[in-house]
Amino acid sequence: MNYETLMKNDPGQLVKKLVSEISSKKAVDVRFEFMDNEQWAVVSIYMDEEDNELALRLHSGGNYELYVGYYDDEDELQEISGTLTAEQTKEIPKGLHRVMVKVAADEQGLRVPGNIFSA
C-alpha cells in the first residue's frame, strides 16, 4: 500500500508506525517549529532505508497533522499531509500528547525518553 492510500484510508496505521518507532528509542526529540504565522510541535522519524520522513505535528487549536515526505520512482520529493480527525487522534498516546502540548505552549523543544510514549 502506498502513502497516499494510507493517508486517505488508514492514517491510524501511520500513526501506529510512528509511535512504535519512537517508543523504542532511547531518546526522542519533540521539536518546536514555525513558518510565517504558523507554529507547531513535531515529532518525526526517518526511514533511512527508504529515505522517507513520517511526522506528527500539533498545531495551535489542538489540530494534529500527519505528514509524509518520500521520493517517488522518478526520485522527486513528494509531500503529503492530512489533518487527523478527533477519532484518529485517539491513537496518539497520552504521554506523547502531553509532551507535544508542552512543546507548543512553551515554544521550546524537549528531548524525552521514548518509553514514555508507550500506549
Q: What is the mean pLDDT of residues 102-116?
A: 95
Task: Look up the pTM and report it.
Answer: 0.91
Q: What is the mean pLDDT of residues 17-27?
A: 93
How confident is residue 112, by pLDDT bands cut at 50, 70 and 90?
very high
DSSP string over the chain:
--HHHHHHH-HHHHHHHHHHHHHTSS-EEEEEEEETTEEEEEEEEEETTTTEEEEEEEETTS-EEEEEEEE-TTS-EEEEEEEPPHHHHTTS-HHHHHHHHHHHHHT--EEE-GGGG--
